[in-house]
Amino acid sequence: MKKNNISLLGLGMMVMSLTILSALIGCKFNLSDNKYLPRPDIRVLDNEIEIRGTYVNSNTEYINIYRQDVTESEKAEIERIAILFPAGFNKADQTYVYDDVNIFRNRKYRYYVRFVENDGSKNRTEWSEAKQNTSEGLPTTGSFAYTIPSGADYTYKKSDMKFELPDGKTFTAPNAIADFAKYKPALVFECGESVQAIELKGDPTDPDTLKNVNLKELIPQDFFYKDIKLVGIIGQKLVKGKITEDAEEESLQYITWTPLASIKLKNETGVEISTFKLEPEHGDAGYDYSIASDNEN
């Protein structure tokens, strides 16, 4: 009798285990839902795809928007396409809006958004659903990125702290953008955890703006004496606007970026290098001649 009791208990435990397992299998787990913010809303407009959503809080310093072409089964690289400054956005409903116009007809895109707070903390959303625009007004071929011809490699002139292109070489502006006049070339540099897009000085239509780049005047001083990587070149456009038609100031601002085009970097002997350093000599305007010491009694 005791043996039968044990068997019934074992059978009951087995049934309970199977019930719990069945319930678990029936549940839909999405761990990323607990990790990421809700995905942005995506709308197909006339000749663009609109990204719309709410930002985290009033401490948001800026918002990055990322895009991925998922038309093919193998997903393309993730692109950084814009940075939004929310100071001019609608504070009542805490919304942001960005129209992605640098897209091809019938290509399928998805997006996610990252929020950077004043204290440096970062939060990102889920990927949006993928959508495509079939408008006849969109291009089907061409490039939204700079074209880098063969041999158009920058040479790093260490003593002068400059980039130079070989004679007769330059970078070709994107041909899929009908009006590229408002874009300016910007080089992307990586130093440690910092990656910055820095607009080139000078007339963007002047070939010398791309051919001769004075890095000492361009790169921030906190990059000096460190390994710096040249990531590539993008077109950068600053857009300003008013929140409403009757607003007095153009407080709405954002940056649009074209896709990144990689550039090879060589030293003065023609050897390809992955990083470079800016090591300027100290100036001769004056030196510290003070007598006081921080640790004097």
What average pLDDT does the segment 38-54 reach?
A: 94
Amino acid in position 121 = S
**Domain ranges for the chain:** 32-132, 154-236+257-266
Task: Say yes or no to pLDDT of 110 above 80.
Answer: yes
When pLDDT is cut at 50, 70 and 90, the band that residue 297 belongs to is low
For 32-132, CATH number? Answer: 2.60.40.10
Phi, psi of 222 (to 5 degrees): -75, -5
Give the least confident one: 121-135, 172-186, 244-258, 271-285: 244-258
Read off the pLDDT of residues 185-222 as tens digits, 9 standing for 90 and up. 999 999 999 999 999 988 887 878 999 999 999 999 99
**Do residues 240 and 186 lie in contact, with contact meaning Cβ atoms separated by under 8 Å?**
no
d(C-alpha 274, C-alpha 157), whole Å: 15
CA 115-257-216 angle, to 5 degrees, is 95
Three-state DSSP at 52 gives strand
Cα 123–124–125 angle (5° rounding)? 135
- Spatial strand order of the sheet with 162-164 comes to 212-214, 162-164, 154-157, 265-266
Neighbours of 123 (CB within 10 A): 16
Instruction: Report residue 152: phi and psi, to 5°.
Output: -85, 70
Angle at 55 between CA 50 and CA 59, to 5 degrees: 145
Ordered alpha helix ranges (H), the chain: 2-26, 31-35, 207-211, 215-218
| 280 — pLDDT class (breaks 50, 70, 90) | confident
Mind listing the pLDDT tens digit for each residue in 52-107?
A: 988 757 788 899 999 999 999 888 999 999 999 876 666 666 788 899 999 999 99
Whole-number Å distance between alpha carbons of 91 and 65: 20
Instruction: Tell me how far apart the 2 most distant CA atoms of the chain are, in Å.
Output: 102
Q: How many residues does the chain have?
A: 297
DSSP conformational letter for 193: T
CA atoms within 13 Å, Cβ hemisphere of 243: 16
Whether the pTM exceeds 0.95: the reply is no
Cα distance between residue 127 and residue 41, in whole Å: 10
> Which pLDDT value is given to residue 291?
79
Contact 213, 162 (CB under 8 A): yes
Which residue matches tokens 């090591």? 279
* pLDDT tens figures, 148-189: 999 999 999 999 999 999 999 999 999 999 889 899 999 999
pLDDT (tens digit per residue) in 220-252: 999 999 999 999 999 999 988 766 667 777 766
Quick check: 3 pLDDT over 70? no
137 Cβ partners below 8 Å, 6+ apart?
46, 47
Nearest to 102 by CA among 111, 89, 90: 111
What is the residue type of 17?
Answer: S
The pLDDT assigned to 286 comes to 76
DSSP-derived secondary structure for 160-184: TTEEEPPTT--PBPPSS-S--TT-E
Q: Check: CB of residue 153 under 8 Å from CB of residue 167.
A: no
